[in-house]
Structure 1
């Protein structure tokens, strides 16, 4: 497991990019919700996630392609952005409130989530997932967040504060890692 703390990793990424992850998730969700109601009603949870994911990837490309020290990586369909100065690789996904994602259990997805080496991916950058959480109805965006996967779970999760709710001189993210209950 990487030895850097959540604060060290997020500080290395920087507020500018963290803010962009929030804007990417919000733009993708808004674009999906702008579909005609008669089309939305026909989509199940998987179709909704697939459409939103496609919009996130396109928005990520628009924001990150051509930026210095940000490299787009496509590993056999796994779209990633390597933020070289932070030594972090980020993928975009729908998440739950704990920062967990659901993956088709490919070896590649498991290795990404376990922070293991992947062929074609520079090593040893930290692997993170940035994305969004929906409400119980699946229609409202609860928040954008960024998490460090650790197998099926997340080592930590940070909620990104929406731009309009940010307070000057405060962090633009809040630790949203759920604390384990003592038995």
Structure 2
């Protein structure tokens, strides 16, 4: 997983962006502020080699250097995908193989759930309901956790879940009924 941090050298108001991938240092970018040859020689002292060391550096350079993680807002697609990844790994014990066709199927699922849910948040709530109720659908469906299959049988799966009784999940705009 790739994470980015903003490092601000307070005295010179210099801003740097550091990138870590899988806990390892990958890239350093100078964003703004003064950066001369003397600072370049000492720069390695304030850059953690691994992402797990960032907390230690925050303590060591308190009031001299600010470290802040750059948070990126997740898209609806990535939220749906994250939920499915967690579901798949929990349900099968294996990491999923994800292809372009799976991505197309997920987009189709999102579109349909937005139509019946009314909003993006309600569509996400419906997706969470479907995945949480997966053990209650017929065994044949339970054995097919692939996104292409779920997309092709979504009407049947939703009908089976609804047949078990009304399901509610609270969303930001109230509750969602299935």
Looking at both structures, which has the greater relative contact order when contacts are Cα pairs under 8 Å and sequence separation is at least 6? 1
In the superposition, the TM-score normalised over structure 1's length comes to 0.25
**Structure that is richer in strand per residue:** 1
- Give the TM-score, by structure 2 length: 0.25
Determine which structure has more spread, i.e. the larger CA radius of gyration: 2
